[in-house]
Structure 1
Amino acid sequence: METPTSLDVPTVRGGRRQRRRRATVVTAALLLVVACLFVLTMMLGSYYVSPIDVITSVLGLRDDPTTDFIVRDLRLPTAASGVAVGLALGLSGVIFQKLLGNPLASPDFVGVSSGASLFAVSSIVLFDASSSAVSGSALLGALLTALLIYVLAWRDGITGYRFVLIGIGVSNFMVAIIGYIVSRAELYEARQAMTWLAGTIGQSGAGELRTLLVAVVVVIPLALVLERPLRTLELGDDTATALGSRVERNRLVLIALSIVLIGFSTAVAGPILFVALIAGPIAQRLTGSAGGILTAGLVGAVIVLGADLVAQQALPTPLPTGVVTGIIGAPYLIWLLATVNREGRGG
């Protein structure tokens, strides 16, 4: 067996430093792009506001009632929703994919978002619920659906393939019930439910947005702390156990964090599809093996903010944000399914 030469260690360390430098540069660049899109979202509309006026209004550096009303009251909630929802979707998606070792293991693909949608639509159609009640119902639906999938997928542990298959089955079941409920609803309620199901940022109240922002601020540091155990779990249960990792506890905590993020984001913006599915792979392409989960969250924020700008400003008729993300994500899903099937990575 060959032993490493004296040149191998510096080479390996140099390559590691280069990968870390690349990941740091990409993450910083994504943070800058998110900041620019955040400001741009508050600039554009029926009344144009200059970037300087946007920044001074948000920071409270100048008193201009007209500008402050447009920026702070009308546009800031939408921009803040875009950042928070994008971060939440990106983080939850990459945690699911790394945890289950499957590129199809996205919360909106394995039934979690469908469960949130079912509970939210039921509260709209059956109980004529308020906006806050709809958001609470969506969060409860996400949590209960994730618990159901976890219980059904458990068999001396969890495998990504089994979790995804059961999640797809649960998702189709939820979607069928949603279709039945909407078909039996009055026209106004059905229209309200379909608008919510399309998914768009800026449709929730201030209370729901504040709750999501608090959840993101709390969960992101926890997720970063648990990133090393997550990397250990990627090696497989046996290897992780041998390395001293508490496999099931760490898996449950990480899944819980992901479900909280997807639940709150769906409660605020509805089911904005495909963002959680594509954010992680894009971040991986940009940063390589050294990329972290925060990078995926920033990619998610860029996608949501960019999609909303396209939906609201670049099209003849404004559309929900989820329509644009669906147009982007559907071809990627088809390509991913074809690639997984061709390479035999489904299991």
Structure 2
Amino acid sequence: MHLSRRLIVSCLLLVVGCLAVGLWSLRSGAVMLETPQIIAALFGDAPRSITLVVTEWRLPRVLMALLIGAALGVSGAIFQSLMRNPLGSPDVMGFNTGAWSGVLVAMVLFGQHLTAIALAAMLGGILTSLVVWALAWRNGIDTFRL
């Protein structure tokens, strides 16, 4: 398998960008930290307060942002491949609107109950997707009709 130079350069630039933004996020906050302080905290050579800020508060936030961003990218690619449509996305298909409608219904019925809001958003999105698939059904699903 031959990797093109453009692919390698693009991946390296993305990694460098992620590292730069991650470092910026580790440095910024209510207490501004310098890069040597962050490195010392990661290796356990910093004062306890700085180590706590870096390892317990900021580093988990940075790692979760990277993981969630990657998961959203993969889910978008899967969605587009399932639809066989490079323009297919949840907002174009109407799933986002269905989820927001579920949120509105839950807020009217249950107020600010977070579990009800999350479940209603998921249920609204699922119901909307079922309606879209049912409307597109004619002797099987045709992705052109979706």
TM normalised by structure 2 equals 0.70
Are positions 1:39 and 2:23 aligned together?
Answer: yes
Deviation at residue 103 of structure 1 after TM alignment: 3.1
Pairing partner for 1:54 from 26, 31, 38? 38
Structure 1: state its 5+ residue gaps. Answer: 1-15, 164-347
**Match in the other structure for 2:142:** 159
**Match in the other structure for 1:102:** 85
Are positions 1:123 and 2:109 aligned together?
Answer: no
> Contact 1:116–1:142 (CA<8 Å) still a contact in 2?
yes
Structure 2: state its 5+ residue gaps. Answer: none
Residue 71 of structure 1: SS of its match in structure 2?
Answer: helix
CA distance in 1, matches of 2:20, 2:8: 18
Residue 65 of structure 2: SS of its match in structure 1?
Answer: helix
Using a 3 Å threshold, how does the CA distance of structure 1 residues 156 and 26 change in structure 2: closer, same or farther? farther
CA distance in 2, matches of 1:91, 1:158: 23
Matches within 5 A, 1:287-302: none
CA distance in 2, matches of 1:133, 1:62: 45
Deviation at residue 127 of structure 1 after TM alignment: 0.9
Matches within 5 A, 1:63-82: 64-76=47-59, 78-82=61-65
Identify which of structures 1 and 2 has the higher relative contact order when contacts are C-alpha pairs closer than 8 Å and 6+ apart: 1
> Contact 2:44–2:51 (CA<8 Å) still a contact in 1?
no
Pairing partner for 2:67 from 63, 81, 84? 84
Using a 3 Å threshold, how does the CA distance of structure 1 residues 108 and 83 change in structure 2: closer, same or farther? farther
Deviation at residue 113 of structure 1 after TM alignment: 2.4
Matches within 5 A, 1:125-274: 125-163=108-146
**Match in the other structure for 1:93:** 76
CA distance in 2, matches of 1:93, 1:146: 15
> Contact 2:110–2:116 (CA<8 Å) still a contact in 1?
no
Using a 3 Å threshold, how does the CA distance of structure 1 residues 63 and 18 change in structure 2: closer, same or farther? closer
Using a 3 Å threshold, how does the CA distance of structure 1 residues 114 and 80 change in structure 2: closer, same or farther? farther
- Report the AA paired with residue 38 of structure 2: V
Cα deviations across residues 191-229 of structure 1 (Å, max 9, x unaligned)? Answer: xxxxxxxxxxxxxxxxxxxxxxxxxxxxxxxxxxxxxxx
> Contact 1:92–1:107 (CA<8 Å) still a contact in 2?
no
Using a 3 Å threshold, how does the CA distance of structure 1 residues 90 and 108 change in structure 2: closer, same or farther? farther
CA distance in 2, matches of 1:73, 1:96: 34
> Contact 1:100–1:159 (CA<8 Å) still a contact in 2?
no
- Report the AA paired with residue 85 of structure 2: N
Using a 3 Å threshold, how does the CA distance of structure 1 residues 100 and 68 change in structure 2: closer, same or farther? same
> Contact 2:90–2:96 (CA<8 Å) still a contact in 1?
yes
CA distance in 1, matches of 2:122, 2:60: 20
**Match in the other structure for 2:2:** 17
CA distance in 1, matches of 2:104, 2:131: 19
Residue 162 of structure 1: SS of its match in structure 2?
Answer: coil
**Match in the other structure for 1:193:** none
> Contact 1:117–1:138 (CA<8 Å) still a contact in 2?
yes
